[in-house]
Amino acid sequence: METTDRPVWRKSSYSDNNGGACVEVAELDTSIVVRDSKNPSGSTLRFKKGAWAGFVRSIR
């Protein structure tokens, strides 16, 4: 992911493009942000990069 101070959102290639449940992820300079793809103007979750990396490792 490219780092920036403005989110560049990515959706998983495994997501349902027909309106199914999915999250989008963006990398900022110091954190990872996650949002609901069905509600892009809604709330986001923010994770420190190390915490996000640990989370991803644990679900793989």
The answer to whether residue 29 sits within a structural domain is yes
d(CA 57, CA 52): 9
The DSSP annotation for 7-53 comes to ---EE-TTS-TTT---EEEEEBSSEEEEEETT-TTS-EEEEEHHHHH
Per-residue tens of pLDDT for the chain, all 60 residues: 555 567 899 987 777 666 667 889 999 989 999 999 889 899 999 999 999 999 989 988
Which domain range does residue 3 map to?
A: 1-12+20-55
Q: Is residue 2 part of a domain?
A: yes
The number of distinct structural domains making up the chain is: 1
pTM of the model: 0.75
Asked if residue 60 is part of any domain, the answer here is no
